[in-house]
A and B are shown apart, each in its own frame.
Chain A
Amino acid sequence: DTGVSQDPRHKITKRGQNVTFRCDPISEHNRLYWYRQTLGQGPEFLTYFQNEAQLEKSRLLSDRFSAERPKGSFSTLEIQRTEQGDSAMYLCASSRRGTGDTGELFFGEGSRLTVL
């Protein structure tokens, strides 16, 4: 399978705990995106990387959120001191920016977070 993979698929945690999600993009893709999706809503942009550089962050990404993409490969999204409002599906997507870029984002199946 050469699609975008996310781990874990489900995470249940208690309020105040830290959680980390991992995303492995399609190997030749240089762009990686994180979105958040809540029930009945469309995906909301959080941040994106081109290679290892984090180029844009949404205002939704509070100080408790941090994302990294070391060496321009996989990415991690960490949420510190989780709150019940953080409960959502966290989607990762990747794309190839450059020659032949179609603008298509390839999404993973998401990591569902439940904060009790």
Chain B
Amino acid sequence: AQSVAQPEDQVNVAEGNPLTVKCTYSVSGNPYLFWYVQYPNRGLQFLLKYITGDNLVKGSYGFEAEFNKSQTSFHLKKPSALVSDSALYFCAVREPHNNDMRFGAGTRLTVKP
């Protein structure tokens, strides 16, 4: 069965610095990969997805992620962090013919002024 690992519980960056939130996955076949963000007392908001095509995916709010098949990774990145980016970030994976989407445990991003 597919699975996702987010190796960092917490990521701290200074405002204006680049940020990376890491995600690795395990799946048989080609993965569908997703990033979601969760603000306090809110549901998950879709940021971006990789289905096929270009390995670099651009999403909402200036975020992007790079699909690396050899390293089975899908790290989330942003060139310049904002304080308002502070939230909980979830990576998720599912197989193309399997409706079961598996989420990582989440990474809490804190951007300090």
A, B bound: no
Residues of B within 8 A of A (CB): none
